[in-house]
Amino acid sequence: MGGEDVKLLGLWASPFPMRVSISLNLKGIKYTSSEESLEAKSELLLKSNPVYKKIPVLIHKDRPLCESLIIVQYIDDVWAASGQSILPADPYDRAIHRFWAKYFDEQIIATTGAIIRMRVKTEEEIAAAIAQMKTVLEQLEEVFEKCSKGKSFFGGDSIQYLDIALGSFWSWIKVIELLIGSKILEEKKIPLLVRWGEKFCAHDAVKDSMQDVEKLLEYAKRRQTFFENAPPAQ
């Protein structure tokens, strides 16, 4: 299904387009992808997302959609009869998935972004960032135990919305560990989440989209150099 009328504007290193590609894979939707550049954004990207000028953008039948989690929900709605459901069927469960996905974005991703952009530099700042990330992951360990009901994913037997939101960032968490020289994914503290991450990354809908950690580390170092040498904001 899908094909020429479905196009994804993204960047291999970004976790946000990965959310879209995983969702399309789960639904069995064929699509084309276009690799964007952060330094030289295409006219199509600027035209498709004139407000934020960011990836990802999903173009479906010449109509653009922006913001990764909004796109994931759109995919689930439009192709409801294809593949598996991405959002849980129960309204309460859907709300729980949305809540924790939003919380993850506000906490873990914001902290990681600060590290990459060289806004977190001192030992004290790094220690605070590590502590904050560990606290969030320990909370998500409890959430996983409740949502999974002893099964493999937050969605139970299948990957769903919260799996996609967190899992798309798994390689980046490992990169942050290497950049700061400290373990964040501690199996003693979050054993369920660590095992979940391994299963998520090995899933057929995910494995071809997941970034190589070493390659991503080199990319992260280049971005840090870029931000370190950038002139201060006016």
Provide the 3-class DSSP secondary structure of residue 61: coil
User: pLDDT tens digits, residue range 29-84?
Assistant: 999 999 999 889 999 999 999 999 999 999 999 999 999 999 999 999 999 999 99
CB 100 within 8 A of CB 148: no
Phi, psi (deg, nearest 5) at residue 138: -65, -35
Q: Which of 51, 78, 105 is the last residue of a domain?
A: 78
CATH number at residue 49: 3.40.30.10
In a domain, 137, yes or no: yes
Q: What is the pLDDT of residue 231?
A: 72
Whole-prediction pTM value? 0.94
CATH number at residue 139: 1.20.1050.10
In a domain, 230, yes or no: no
Of the two residues 159 and 228, the one the predictor is more confident about is 159
* Sequence-ordered alpha helix ranges (H) in 85-212: 91-104, 110-116, 123-148, 161-167, 170-180, 191-202
Provide the residue range defining the domain that includes 215.
91-222
Mean pLDDT over the full length of the chain: 94
Question: Is residue 85 exposed (0-12), middle (13-18) or buried (19+ Cβ within 10 Å)?
Answer: middle
Closest by CA position to 112, among listed 94, 85, 130 = 130
Q: How far apart are CA 112 and CA 92, in angstroms?
A: 29
Q: What is the pLDDT of residue 10?
A: 98
Q: Which strands make up the sheet holding 57-60, listed edge to edge?
A: 30-35, 2-10, 57-60, 63-66
